[in-house]
Structure 1
Amino acid sequence: MTTTYLWTPPPIASLPVRGKTERLPVNRLFFVGRNYHAHAIEMGRPVDKTVEVPFYFTKSLPTLVESGATVAYPPGTANYHFEMELVLVVGAPGFRVDRADAHKLIYGYACGLDMTRRDLQLVARDKGRPWDLGKDVEQSSVVSEVVPMAGTVLEQGALALSVNGQERQRSDLSKLIWNIPELIEDLSKYYHLQPGDLIFTGTPEGVGALRPGDRVEGSVAGVGEITLTVGPAE
């Protein structure tokens, strides 16, 4: 029996994969908060790894947009920020994964931008409220093509971002507070990780505001590049 719906269901969220004609279906979007020391200090919340554990937030699939897009300056904010990140792409299921086995879940990597209504995020943070209005912003999870690197743990590599040709962020993956195996081990304590889950691993210092007309260009060494143009507000 054929299932019918009251209206057309949304299309499957997916991303291009380097060297393949098939697209990668995306399952969930996880984001690691404050995973570079300098950014944690920049946000006024230093991290002591000896007593703290990673924390996460999620975004809905309608926030996903491919590199190269032009997105409207979002409503409700006067402080729309960029955050450049390495994105880990999960390619195998895993639950309560031992750190030594974490690499088995890695399909590959991509470049990502976690676009943020910073003013709304900070109000929510300071009031102890959820971050949804600040983070779960339409077209705010920007991702490049996926680069297959099955089982490869990236431990170092330059990460950089520029706005209108001026560099604004530069760091190295070696400065992650919680590295990739640690993140997989920890996140899999709480979720049954599945193929197509994306984990944005955190942004370094230098985040800042954008205006309509700005062009963002980012890169992660050995992974690729990402671009985004900010259009006028709707």
Structure 2
Amino acid sequence: MGNMSNKQVANGNTLHINMKQSQALKENPNVHRKSDEFGGKSPCQVAQLALAAPEEDTFDLIIRFVRVSTADEISRVCDVSGLPVQAKNEAILEFHNGNLDRCASILTEAAKQKQRESTRELSGDAGGKRMIKSDHGTYLRAYDGEWKVDLMRGNPDAWEHWYVEDWGCKVVFKAIHSPGRFLRALSCGNVDLVPTHPNGCPELLWKPFKNPDGTWSFLSTYGTWLSGHENGSVCCQWECKSWEKFNLPWW
């Protein structure tokens, strides 16, 4: 898959599962060890992604995780996913009382609420005027004469200015140039700019996730994460590690 296989610095903790792996967990909830079927990932890691980017099937994934997990494992997943302490404690209490469905419901709703709050925080004040700063100290740059992006070193200028707009618990990244152009994720893992309006174009929509360290990560419609590489290239990756975490200073 081209640059999808590029090596990354592995100090992050959010992991992606694809639809096949998600379905496998649903069909076999008793798998409690890492296996090739899950790409080397455990149910804890699967649950972590589900809580990071909740979907309609998040409860189904979480209840199966809860059924094969211990209270300590649930607690660790909550901490890594940045869920509120109160929600974690309530879920674990229900777990100890044998109310597994209630435990999963609390975790699922807490994840959805966190995502709603993340979206509002990211796109609300100052019209969502943000720069997108990578782990390498470089800034996401939108070219004016070309439909491409990369990472720029040095002091940011106009081409590094973006409007982050709320699109119903997701966000779009609009470059400062006129006419409007938006950041797009492609199925091959590439990222580019297009003039297409976000209506009816899911490739332009990104799910924001605020990491426990205060950085942000963005999940594409393909289940891949926006990634800024040390060489200045921008793409999408299957795992969320340090290169998939961004700071978002105002401009």
Pick the TM interval, shorter chain.
Answer: under 0.3
Structure that is richer in helix per residue: 2
Q: If the length of structure 1 is used for normalisation, what is the TM-score?
A: 0.28
- Structure with the larger RCO, 1 or 2 (CA within 8 Å, 6+ apart): 1
Structure that is richer in strand per residue: 1
Q: If the length of structure 2 is used for normalisation, what is the TM-score?
A: 0.26
Q: Which has the larger radius of gyration?
A: 2
